Amino acid sequence: MKTLLTAFIIAFSLFRASLVLAQDYAPDYNYTLALIASLNSQSTITHENSADTIHVIMSAFIYYGSASDQFKKAMFTVRRSRVSKEIQAAEPAEARLLSLMYATRTKVPDNLTDDDLKFWIGKDGKWVVRNAGKPMKNQSLSRKQFEALENFPPDAAASLVDSICAPWFETGPLPYGASDTTWASDSLWSIYFHARKVEFARRSIVVRLLAEEGNVTIPTNTQAVFVWSGMPSISIPLPPVTWSKKDAPKLVKLLGNSFYREAAQRKLSSLQN
């Protein structure tokens, strides 16, 4: 019975995938969580029987952006060998992005008080910013993982940036729109999200181009907000995201990319002036 149910869900996902690709259907949040659970329970994971299912899940990551944090939690809180098989079953570009999501996965507490948040922030917030951005600085991450965004059009890539940068709460998974977190935890989530986006941009030429073209906003600061107690907010500066002439070879490479050719040419011209 379980095998038949799994087969039905996977077959149904293929139908939904065709609708997603045709842009006639928005992936359902709770269905996506159920689909991930089904994927995690499959006895055999191969490219032939799982790639389409993973594609539907990736479509949901794109559609929900930063709100897809619970998808990451559902997908990546199983044993490592299982995650590895699922990543290997995906299409190459999707596999590289999933591996990047997995390598940079981060969770934040869901029940912080304002005093807890103040402790996390410390004197100036520098420690929490460093800690939040640390996974993105991991030297074991490959250039190909960061370059995988080049395979997606700007709107989809911008959503994937948000998906990758979003930490997940320890609570959940919860239905879409539901919340069981404190305001202080929500504030810490935002700090982590902003700090991770900055570090992503510092390592990815595509993220910086998306920002240049207005598809992505790279924050220059973030803040700790103490809603419950009414304590003054604490502004926290973030590391700068800059361009240099050393970026020129990467931009030249993108001149052959149909999605980013024009943006790369504009930025290349400004660097050469």
Question: What is the distance of C-alpha 134 from the center of its chain?
Answer: 15
- The pLDDT averaged over each successive group of 10 residues in the chain (273 residues) is 43 44 65 90 89 92 92 90 92 95 93 94 92 90 93 97 93 58 93 97 96 96 95 95 94 96 96 84
Q: What is the pLDDT of residue 208?
A: 97
Q: What is the pLDDT of residue 177?
A: 53
Q: What is the pLDDT of residue 172?
A: 57
Q: What is the pLDDT of residue 123?
A: 84
For residue 82 the two structure tokens come to: 């299982």
| Residues 6+ positions from 50 with CB-CB distance below 8 Å | 39, 42, 86, 89, 90
Ordered DSSP codes for 142-200: -HHHHHGGGGS-HHHHHHHHHHHH--EESS----TT-----HHHHHHHHHHHHHHHHHH
Q: What is the pLDDT of residue 43?
A: 87
Tell me the backbone φ, ψ of residue 257, rounded to 5 degrees. -100, 120
CA–CA distance, 138 with 156 (Å, rounded to integer): 25
Q: What is the pLDDT of residue 171?
A: 72
CA–CA distance, 162 with 159 (Å, rounded to integer): 5
**Inter-residue contact 6 to 17 (CB < 8 Å):** no
Domain boundaries along the sequence of the chain? 2-242
CA–CA distance, 201 with 216 (Å, rounded to integer): 10
Q: What is the pLDDT of residue 259?
A: 97
**Inter-residue contact 164 to 104 (CB < 8 Å):** yes
- Angle of helix 47-64 relative to helix 29-41, nearest 10 degrees, comes to 150
| Residues 6+ positions from 164 with CB-CB distance below 8 Å | 97, 100, 101, 104, 196, 200
SS3 221: strand
For residue 273 the two structure tokens come to: 């002036």
Q: What is the pLDDT of residue 269?
A: 94
Closest CA to 95 of 107, 86, 103, 104: 86
